Structure 1
Amino acid sequence: MFWICPTCGAHYPDTEQPPAECVLCEDERQWVPPTGQRWTTLAELAAAGHRADIREVEPGLLGIGVTPDLGVGQRGLLLRTDQGNLLWDPPAYLDEQAKQAVREAGGLAVVTSSHPHMYGALAEWSHEFGAEVVLPEADVHWLQRTDVRVRTWSGTEQVLPGVTLVQCGGHFPGSTALHWAHEGGVLLTGDTIMVTPGEDRLTFMWSAPNRLPLPEKQVRGIVAALRDYPFERVYGGWWTPALRSGGSRVLHNSAERYIQFLRGEVAIDGGVR
C-alpha cells in the first residue's frame, strides 16, 4: 500500500507505516497543515467519494482532473498525437474511469510533469500502461516512488514529434513548460507560468501558496528559454483560467510589467515612475 500526502499530492513508497514527514510539504514552497502531517491511500480516497473528472480542453487535449480537489488541485492533460499520447501533470488520484478514458484515447506512451508538486500518480500511470516516465535531471530527486524507471533530460527534450519539453527553471530548477507545435502553438505550464483570472496576463511565483515572488533573474530566464517556441494558447495547471490567444506576446509584456513591480518602478496609482 503506497501512501499519498493529501496536502501536496505526492506519492510515497509501499511501506507498513507512512513516512514521518512529507519532504515536499516541509519545503518552503509548500506547507504543512497546522494540525500536522496527514496521509491517505487510493482506497481511502475512493471511499471518501473522490472520482476522476474527464473533460475535453481542446481537440487533442483531454483534461483528467479529480473531484473533490486533492493535493494542489491540478488537472492533468492527455496530449494526443499520431505518434503516441503524453500525460502531463497527472493528479494524485486515478480510478478506472480515468484509465478507461486513456485507453479509449489510444493509450499512453509518456508521462511527465512541470515540477515536483505535480508528479501526482505518474508511477501508477506508468505501471498501468507501460509508459515511459520522463523528468528533468535537476528535479528527479524529488520523486519519492522508487518502483519506477525514469529517463532524465536537461535543457530541451523532444519527447514526441512536435512536442518539446523546455526547462525554464524558476519555481524549481527543473521547472518545465511543454510546447506543442499545433495550430499556432500551445504551451502547458503547470505553475511555471501562471495565467491570471482575467485570462489576459501571465505571472510568476516562487511559491504561490506562501505568496513568495520569483526574482527578476529567474523571470528573464523563463522568457529566454521560450524565445524560440512561438505559442498562442497557454494552459496552466488547473481547469481555469487559460490564455486563449497571443501567448508569446503576453508572456513578454507580462514579464516586463512584473519586473517593474519587483524594481519598485510602479507608482501607487499604477503608472510607471
Structure 2
Amino acid sequence: MPAFICITCGTQYAPSAQPPAHCRICEEERQYVNIDGQQWATLDELRESGRYSNRIEQISERIYSITTAPKFAIGQTAYFIKGQKVNLLWDAVTFLDEETSRFFEQQGGIDAIALSHPHYYCAVAEWSEEFKADVYIHEADAEWIVNPGSRFELWSGKSLQLSEEFTLHQLGGHFAGAAIAHADIGKGIVFSGDVIQVASDRNWTSFMYSYPNMIPLPIPVIKRMKQDISRLVFDELYNAFDRKVAPDAKEKVLKSADRYIQALNGELFDT
C-alpha cells in the first residue's frame, strides 16, 4: 500500500489503501490547509514526475545543507553534520531519491536523525529505513507521529547527548517537545529549525507559536527559553531556511528574547 504525503506540509502518513481524510498536522492551528483543499501525493509519484531533486551544498568543512528544489511543501532545509563518531542528520526533507542516497553513502552514511518538531517529521520513516538510522523525537511530541518507523526513539527530559559532539536540548515554545541541536564544533554551533527563527536582519531572531498564522508565544515561555539558551555555548546558529547568525550568535539570540519581551510589554515602541 502507498504511504500518502500531504503536499502542503510534506508529512508522510502510514501506508493505506486510500489517502487519509484529513492531515492532522495541517488542520492544527500552527499550520494550515492549502487554499485549494487537501491534496496528496506519494514518494514514487514525486520521483517519477522528474520535477524534484535535492540540492546538497557544503557550507563548511563538516556541514552540508539539504533542500528540495523546486520548493516542496514547507520548503525547509535539513543539515548533515559529519561527526568524529556519529554522522547526524538534523531535521529532514520529504524527498528522497537514488542520487541523494548515493551522496550520503559516499559520506559514510547517516547514523542518527534528530528532529526539531512535527512540521519537519515529513518522510523521516523512509530516511530511517534507507540509512538504518535511529530517529530521535522528544516524547512530548509523540502524539504527532503519524508514520512511526521501527527505529524511532523517544527521548525525555531537557537534553539528550547523542555523542561527545552532539546534544539535543528541549526548548518547547513552538511545540511542547520542540528541540534544538548543539554541536561542539569550533566555538559551538546551534541548529534551531524554526524553534529559534532567524530574522531577515541576521542580527536578530524570533520565537513563535505559529509562523504561518502569526501567533506569538507568551512572555513566560520566552523567559524560560532564554534561560535554557543561556546555558549553552555557541557562536553560530543555523535555522531551517538557509539563514545563519554568526558571529556572536548566543548574544544575539538572548538580545532578541529581550526585545520580544519588551515588544509584548509595550515597552519597545509607541505607535
**1:169, 1:221 within 8 Å by CA — same for their partners in 2?**
no
After TM superposition, the structure 1 = structure 2 runs for residues 21-170 of structure 1, keeping only pairs within 5 Å, are 21-46=22-47, 47=49, 49-154=51-156, 155-170=158-173
Question: Structure 1 residue 266: deviation in Å?
Answer: 2.1
**1:202, 1:251 within 8 Å by CA — same for their partners in 2?**
yes
Question: Structure 1 residue 121: deviation in Å?
Answer: 2.1
State the number of aligned residues: 268
Letter in 2 for 1:125: W
**2:135, 2:151 within 8 Å by CA — same for their partners in 1?**
yes
The 1-side partners of 2:40 and 2:50 are apart by: 14
The 1-side partners of 2:142 and 2:114 are apart by: 11
The 1-side partners of 2:253 and 2:185 are apart by: 18
Could you list the structure 1 runs, at least 4 aligned residues long, displaced by more than 4 angstroms after superposition: none
Question: Structure 1 residue 92: deviation in Å?
Answer: 1.1
Question: Structure 1 residue 48: deviation in Å?
Answer: 5.1
| 2:158 corresponds to 1:172 | no
Question: Structure 1 residue 2: deviation in Å?
Answer: 0.7
Identity %, equivalent residues? 35
The 1-side partners of 2:119 and 2:16 are apart by: 21
TM-score of the pair, normalised by structure 1: 0.95
**2:128, 2:151 within 8 Å by CA — same for their partners in 1?**
no
Q: Alignment partner of 2:209: what SS?
A: strand
Q: Alignment partner of 2:162: what SS?
A: strand
Q: Alignment partner of 1:133: what SS?
A: strand
- Counterpart selection for 2:232 from 226, 229, 233: 229
Question: Structure 1 residue 131: deviation in Å?
Answer: 0.7
The 2-side partners of 1:238 and 1:43 are apart by: 26
Letter in 1 for 2:185: H
Root-mean-square deviation (CA, aligned residues, Å) is 1.2
Q: Alignment partner of 1:16: what SS?
A: coil
Q: Which runs of 5+ in 1 are unaligned?
A: none
| 2:239 corresponds to 1:251 | no
The 2-side partners of 1:10 and 1:82 are apart by: 31
Q: Alignment partner of 1:65: what SS?
A: strand
Question: Structure 1 residue 227: deviation in Å?
Answer: 2.1
Q: Alignment partner of 1:123: what SS?
A: helix
The 1-side partners of 2:149 and 2:249 are apart by: 38
TM-score of the pair, normalised by structure 2: 0.96
Question: Structure 1 residue 43: deviation in Å?
Answer: 2.1
